[in-house]
Each structure stands twice: as C-alpha cells, then as structure tokens.
Amino acid sequence: MTDPMTRERSALITATAFVVALSLRPALTAVGPVLPRIGQDLQLGEAAQGLLGTLPLLAFAVASPLVHLASRRFGMERAVFVSLLVLAASSALRPYTGQAGLWIGTAVVGAAIAVGNVLVPVIIKRDYSAHVSRATGVYTAFITGGAAVASILAVPIADAVDWRLSLAVWGGLAVLVAIVWLPRTLAPEPMPAPRTEDETPPVSVWRQPMAWLVTGFMGLQSTSFYLVVNWLPTIEITTGGVSERSTGVHLFVFQVFGLIGGLSIPFLLKHPTNQRAGLMTASTPILIALLGLLLAPHLAIVWAVIGGLGQGAGLVAALSLISIRGRGHHETTQLSGMAQAVGYALAASGPVLAGYLTQATGGWTVTLIVFATLAALQVTVGFVGGVDRRTPSTHQKPAPSGAAA
C-alpha cells in the first residue's frame, strides 16, 4: 500500500498531461493577431497569409496517422517529450530564418503539435479511466486557456519588440512544459489493458456512415475555429474599423468564452446513443456569430462571445463524439485517427479558401456567406449524427478516447 506522499506525487505527475495541453495551441493562435504585420513585412497576399495559417492543419492531417509509429517505437511519454522539444525549437527559429524558414518552421510546428493532439488524450483516457468525461473537459479547458493567452499577448509583444518575438516566445513555453513532463519519461510506461476479441471493429471505420458523420463534425467545427483564430482580427479591422490591439482582446474573449462553452456542454452529451441536443447546441452559436460578422460587424465583441461559446462547446462535443461512437478501444483509436486525418484536411482548406475568396472579391462578404453556409452544414451534421442508429448487436460499451481540434 502506497503512502500518502507517494500517492500525491503520482497524482501530480499524472496531472502533467493537462499542462502539456497548454502548449498545443499558442504557436497557432499567436499568428492571427499579427498576420497583417507578417504579410506586410514579408509581402504576402491574403491567399498566402491564409496558407500560412492553414499549414499547421495540413501537417496535422499528414502527421496524425503516423504518430502511432513513434508511440510504438519510443512509448507515448517519450514521444510527447520529443515532440515538445521539436515544438520549442521550431517555434523559436521560424520567425528568424527568412520566408523559407517561416514556412518550413510552421509545418514542423504543426507536426510536433499533432503528436500531442493524438497521444495526450489517449494518455488522459488511460490515467483517468474512471473520469474520462470530466478529464476531457479539463484538458480542453487547458488547451483553450493556452490559446487565449497567446491571442491577447501577441500584439502587445509585437508592439514592444516585433512580430517575430511574439511568435518565438512560445518556444519557451514548450521548453518549460517539457521540463515538467520529463519525470514521466523516466518512469516505466503503464501497459494498456489487453484488447479482447469483441473490441475488433466488425467493419472498418472508413466504411461506416456514422464514422463519416463524426469525421464531418470534427472537420467542420475545426474549419470554423481556424477561420476565426486566423482571420477574425483582419475581418474586424477591415469591416468594423476595430483597432489592432482591440482585435487581440476580442480573440482573447473568443477563447475565454470557448473555455466556458467547453466546460458546460458535457451535461448535454451524457446519453449513450443520443447526443443531438449537445451537438445542435454546440453548433448553432458559430452560425449566429458568422452571420453577425456579416450583417453587423460593428458588434464584433458580441459575435466573439457567442462564437467562442460555440467553438469551445464544439471542440468538446467532437472529442466526446469520437469517444462515444467508438465501440471498444481498437475501433475508437481507428475512429480518432480517421477523424483527425480527414477532419484536419478539411479544416486546412478554411483559412486558404477565406484568403483566396477575399482577395478575389475584394471584401469579406462572400467569404462570410460561404463559411456561414458551412456552419449551417455543421448544424445539419450534428442533427443527423447526433443519434446512433446502429444495431444493438454491434454497439459495444463506449470506450472514451479523444483527439484535439
């Protein structure tokens, strides 16, 4: 029997999984508020700026299915540790290595974050098997909190020094998180529970309509999230006359209310086969926010609040849907990989499409109409995919897992 001090130390080490979540978004959300400066300094048009914002998502889509290879080779804890070091180096170097270094470094940043996206939820599932839903809510709160801090600090740091430091500083955060994570790499990695025969998916997830609905929801909510974090400051400056510093605050507000939405929505996702109310509730606010930016851009702070609630809830809903729809550990892992690979590939098109449409039409009207339509599609997918109609004979007890958006 372990003594209280040993148990307390073990609990603290286990909780470091949430600390890792703090480092999974700042390198991405710090870009949006200073994107106009990057474009002006490096002579990048709107389409190129959109591609810069979407490059990490392409890296997510490519790297996510490969993460299990590193996990098998080194173990999950060590793979996460190495990814944190790579994230630190690429974050610090990309702003200071010219235009080529910015592009390459951004891709490497995305690949490093993909490792955490895939493995940290699996680690949380393993370590908090009795409280997976609650732990997932805390995990997403830490992700949102890290993203929010990066959003609000980006412009002040750029004003004080330049945009390069406002991107590079988050490499220091990754180093600190790696130090906190280090004790996990020194201990023997816990063995996962053996897989039983009934956990083998009867049909590949790639051939299951329900899996495609889950993937569609994941991709659509990610598309709107990365549109906002990359382009909201530019949209507000262009259409609403908002100051650059205020846009950073609005993006911070968006993230903070995302935290509130993410912690609130699990109450509507508890039913084992019907999550329609939760998915609809999570999806509708982002549709309202995009329509609001289109019709009343001067109320940008209101749409940041409403959109933030929807995006935070949408992220938790997407993660929970993967957990609930997966029948056994093996199928849940497959579903998680599919949702990330395809979902992030879909999300990657968002910032680029927004930049292209804006550059081609000379304004944000068409862009906001297109993305409001995608948000309406998310509501529809949530309605259709919110009920699991698979036969009871093939529906095993859910094995919660997750994947970050």
pLDDT in tens, the chain (405 residues): 445 444 554 556 678 889 999 999 999 989 988 988 999 999 888 778 878 878 888 898 888 878 877 887 888 899 999 999 999 999 999 999 999 999 999 999 999 999 998 888 778 777 877 666 677 778 888 888 888 889 889 989 999 999 999 999 999 999 999 999 998 888 665 555 555 444 555 677 888 899 999 999 999 999 998 888 778 888 988 887 888 778 878 888 898 898 899 888 888 887 878 899 999 999 999 999 999 999 998 899 999 999 999 998 998 889 888 877 877 656 776 787 788 888 888 888 888 888 889 989 999 999 999 999 999 999 999 999 999 877 654 444 444 434 444
Return the SS3 of 313: helix
For residue 286, what are the contacts with CB-CB under 8 A and spacing of at least 6?
221, 224, 307, 310, 311, 314, 375, 378
- Distances in whole angstroms, Cα of residue 5 to Cα of each of 11, 181, 186, 219: 10, 19, 19, 44
- Residue 372 CA to residue 378 CA, distance in Å, equals 10
**Contacting residues for 5 by C-beta, under 8 A, at least 6 apart:** none
Nearest Cα neighbor of 147 from 224, 245, 243, 248 is 248
Selection from 233, 329, 266, 175 nearest residue 32 by Cα = 233
Is 110 within 8 Å of 57 (Cβ atoms)? yes
Question: How far apart are alpha carbons 66 and 118 in whole angstroms?
Answer: 10
Residue 258: its H or E element:
helix 244-264
User: Which residue in the block uniquely carries the two structure tokens 């600390």?
Assistant: 19
Q: Distance from first CA to last CA of the chain, Å, rounded?
A: 39
User: Which DSSP state fits 131?
Assistant: S
Please name the residue ranges forming H helices in 64-97: 67-74, 76-93
